[in-house]
Structure 1
């Protein structure tokens, strides 16, 4: 029996945010070695938004949206891309790509706690266990002496935490906001507005802008991967999932992202993977699993 079309789309979308986004840590790390972070992110999302709009027009999809939808896509673009992605790329100037992915893997904890604070959503027992495990994993990850003694490491950790807060709030906001129903249009406007704000930030910070023909070949290939796979495919899939499943489930992309990022960082950039980082990853990702599980404990009846 064949799967329903919607189920297939959801599976493919999860594959995109799980695997493709796991590789973007490496691509961003390579690109930020030569390009300023906010300039890098601005160019990436500006080009991606233009391509997305061209695809939408070729499919005869209307690009017209209401004023409220424009405001909401601008807010989402600011939270997801200007703050979220911009700070994450900036952090990669100071910390390894695999370490950044591991720290971001705690995002489901942030989403869960934020939903509790903002919407009063009850934290189930299994999720509570997951939160405890998550905090233990994060503590083990960031308390390593060989990591925190390196220059810029603490700043990088703080930037990643700020990025997580922005993405978590944005995930909750997008789940309830009035946004364009077409996912290409929704993604395109978020990227366009986010890229413009990233560009303004870059100019305000005095970053040096450059043309692609002056970039190293590895940076050019990394930017191409970020635009086509990380932006157009994965971010469109991300926005699709936020409308189809709960924010907590979407946030579980952090199961696979850090594993992909760790392996790629180790294989391509010779980044160090410590034993404590592996232990922290196992505990933290186990916590994320508990947060996502639907299993509940039922009290057993006692015989009389």
Structure 2
């Protein structure tokens, strides 16, 4: 996907949202398969993002796109570090200690941070009360979705020991929101594909020394890693990184950040549904209610952008 001065087609925007919603929701499932099969988390990040970035960059070179623009490479490095290393790395790291339910809830607070950190657009974002209300009930829906698991967590005796990890995950969520907004407001002179490739390459390179610092290679036996883990890694490279992350970066350039941030509410829904379909998990009435609330909030946030076309288009032109 490339950036254009013209307004993108509604169909292309819908396809990009569908990719981000569905594919990213499935990556939790495939990350778990890869890690449980023996791929250490930071090695996983290094291979995933470096490979995906190099593949995407190769495609850009084949198309004859401009690659080396110093300013854009620096901006891409900052964005990649904030999004793919700090935020994504923290998620992978904390999932070894925190229950996936708590991880999903804390990550879903991203839309709130999008609004709080996007100072240039405070006047626009806070003007749309339906958007604020949609974000609020969406977060409430995520909490309701995982309410039963939360209850079990706080009944355990090691709740306090998990608090530092929870705070670290909040920091990761803030980093993701800040990196996304940085990317949105730093308009690159290169295409979105080139910018995305640099972001992934830079982030992947950061993972490499960190994996050594954590001694992940000391006891790693590549021959013992099952085919399922390699298959999950390939899925993460092709679909999770090249396809979905490219769609996300492109959406940040053409749609309001509050609208793009709704992925954080839909991804847990997809993760739960995958558990029901592939892992034989059951869904309770409370969880079903949470799913319905989340989807209603996303609908509310999106509809708000089209309620007053003449006013919103003029404002969105300034935002984009």
TM class, shorter-length: 0.7 to 0.9
TM-score by length of 1: 0.82
Of the three residues 151, 165, 175, the one matched with 1:145 is 151
Of the three residues 172, 193, 198, the one matched with 1:184 is 193
Of the three residues 126, 129, 133, the one matched with 2:130 is 126
Counterparts of 2:233 and 2:103 in 1: how far apart (Å)? Answer: 19
- The correspondence of residues 64-75 of structure 1 with structure 2, limited to 5 A, is 64-65=68-69, 67-75=70-78
- The correspondence of residues 1-304 of structure 1 with structure 2, limited to 5 A, is 6-33=9-36, 34-65=38-69, 67-95=70-98, 97=100, 100-101=103-104, 103-115=106-118, 120-121=122-123, 122-123=125-126, 124-134=128-138, 136-137=140-141, 140=144, 141=146, 144-149=150-155, 157-208=166-217, 210=220, 213-270=223-280, 273=283, 275-294=285-304
TM-score by length of 2: 0.79
**Once the 2 structures are TM-superposed, how far is the Cα of residue 228 of structure 1 from its aligned partner?**
0.6
Counterparts of 2:102 and 2:275 in 1: how far apart (Å)? Answer: 9
Q: Is the 8 A contact 1:22 1:257 kept in 2?
A: yes
Give CA-to-partner distance per residue, 1:161-203, whole Å, 9 cap, x none: 3332111111211111142431221111000111111222222
Counterparts of 2:230 and 2:111 in 1: how far apart (Å)? Answer: 32
Give CA-to-partner distance per residue, 1:247-274, whole Å, 9 cap, x none: 1121122343222211113333455655
Counterparts of 2:51 and 2:223 in 1: how far apart (Å)? Answer: 16
Aligned partner of residue 88 in structure 1, secondary structure: helix
How large is the Cα RMSD of the aligned pairs?
3.0
Distance 1:250 1:119, change over 3 A: closer
**Once the 2 structures are TM-superposed, how far is the Cα of residue 280 of structure 1 from its aligned partner?**
4.0
Aligned partner of residue 261 in structure 2, secondary structure: helix
Counterparts of 2:102 and 2:278 in 1: how far apart (Å)? Answer: 15
Structure 1 runs (4+) deviating above 6 angstroms are: none
Q: Is the 8 A contact 1:91 1:155 kept in 2?
A: no
Counterparts of 1:96 and 1:271 in 2: how far apart (Å)? Answer: 16
Q: Is the 8 A contact 2:30 2:232 kept in 1?
A: yes
Q: Is the 8 A contact 2:80 2:199 kept in 1?
A: yes
Q: Is the 8 A contact 1:25 1:98 kept in 2?
A: no
- The alignment covers a number of residue pairs equal to 292
31-40 or 252-261, which deviates more: 252-261
**Once the 2 structures are TM-superposed, how far is the Cα of residue 92 of structure 1 from its aligned partner?**
2.5
Give CA-to-partner distance per residue, 1:34-77, whole Å, 9 cap, x none: 22212211110011111111111222223221x22121101100
Counterparts of 1:20 and 1:164 in 2: how far apart (Å)? Answer: 19
Counterparts of 1:113 and 1:292 in 2: how far apart (Å)? Answer: 19
Aligned partner of residue 262 in structure 2, secondary structure: helix
Distance 1:165 1:20, change over 3 A: same
